[in-house]
Amino acid sequence: MARHGVSGFMRLRMLRLGVPWVLFTVLVWPLFMWFAYRAAGHPLSYWQEFRGRTPFLDSGPLWCVQALAFDVVEASLVVAGSVWLLALAQRRLTSRAPLLAASARAA
């Protein structure tokens, strides 16, 4: 994260994790399941299999990639929120510094 920042880190990880997950979830896994249903003797079209899945975006064996992608998003949001809160606290402290110095001189 230090090299690319939070948004760059999230963008690169989503490219590495999200693109393969989406392609597998939308194209490959429904095709495998359609072949399995056809081999079992169920007269099912590819579209019926794609729309009738439960859960709808079942990622099959790539569930771990999906979990990693969610963790990347969560971690990036936590880091971005922490940086924002630290910057806000620093801004408040620096805006109060002249007031504290003036009150110390007056006393």
Residue 26, pLDDT score: 85
Q: Side chain identity at 76, as an amino acid letter?
A: S
pTM value is 0.58
Helix (H, G, I), strand (E, B) or coil at 47: helix
pLDDT at 15 over 60: yes
List pLDDT tens digits, range 50-91: 787 777 677 788 888 888 888 888 888 888 888 888 888 888
Q: What is the mean pLDDT of residues 41-45?
A: 87
Do 42 and 34 touch, CB atoms closer than 8 A?
Answer: no
Structure tokens at 80: 């971005």
